[in-house]
Amino acid sequence: MCGRLSQYSGIHDFVAALSMPNALVNSVGDLPLERYNVAPTTLVALLHLQGDLLHADPVRWGWRPHWAKDRAAPVNARVEKVAHGPFFRSIWPHRAIAPIDNWFEWVDEGSAKKQPYLIRRRDGSPVLCAVIGQLPDADEGSGEHDGFVIITADSAGGMVDIHDRRPVVLTPELAREWLDPATPKERAEQMVLHQGEPAEAFEWFPVAVSVGSVRNQGPETILKIK
C-alpha cells in the first residue's frame, strides 16, 4: 500500500479543500484531471509550498536516492522509519500533499483473482495524503530525478481487513501545517505518526477487477459492484 489511486477532480477543487489563501502557481491545468486508475512511475499532481506560493506540479510517483541504483524506486515510505532512516534522509524535509479522490487495495477472497476495493472519505471530500519527495524547483523547473513517496501507517479498525497499511491522510488544518516549510521536522514527524485521519473517516467497497489493468482508465473503474 498504496499502489493505485484516482485523481479525477480538478486541481482547484483540491486547493479549495485546503483553504489556503496563497497564490497558486499551477502547472497541471485547470480542467478536471480525469485519472481514475493511476499507477506508480506515472505523474501525480502534488501541492507544495515554495516561499509564499502554493505550487501544483505533476511529479513522478516513486523515488530513490542516487546511491541506491540497484533497487526499484519505492512508492511508499513507512511512517515508523521515514524520519530517521538513511534512505529518505535527503527528502524528509521536502514535504508535499498528494490530493486524491480515492485509492485501491486488493483482497484475497478465495477466488481466482484478488478482489479490488476502492477506499475514500465518507464525507466525499478530497483525500489529503502526506508525501515527501524531490520536488520541482520554482526557478529551475522539473528535474530528471524528481519523484515522491506516500507516507503509510498501520491500518486499524475494519480497514485492516482490506489491507494492513494505508496512506497517512491529514485534515486540511494539519495539511496546511505539513506544507509550511516553517513547521519543524520534529513536529512534522509527530503529525504523521499520531494525527493521521482514523479508519472511521473512510468507507470502502468492491469495484470491478478491470481496475487491475492500467489500460482501463475510465470512470467505470470506481463504480461499486455487488
Grid cell, residue 206, equals 468492491
**Cα(first)–Cα(last) distance of the chain, in Å?**
24
CA 58 vs. chain centroid, Å, equals 12
Output DSSP code: residue 101: S
Catalytic residue among 2, 80, 177, 200: 2
Q: Show the beta-strand stretches assigned E in 51-146.
A: 53-60, 76-78, 95-100, 102-107, 115-121, 127-134
Catalytic residue, chosen from 34, 80, 105, 129, is 105
Q: Are 54 and 28 in contact (CB under 8 A)?
A: no
Measured distance CA(11)–CA(133) in Å, rounded: 19
**To 5 degrees, how large is the angle CA 81–CA 82–CA 88?**
130
129 is catalytic: no
**2 is known as an active-site residue:** yes
Helices within 89-183 (DSSP H only)? 172-179
For the chain, what's the residue count? Answer: 226
- Catalytically annotated residues: 2, 105
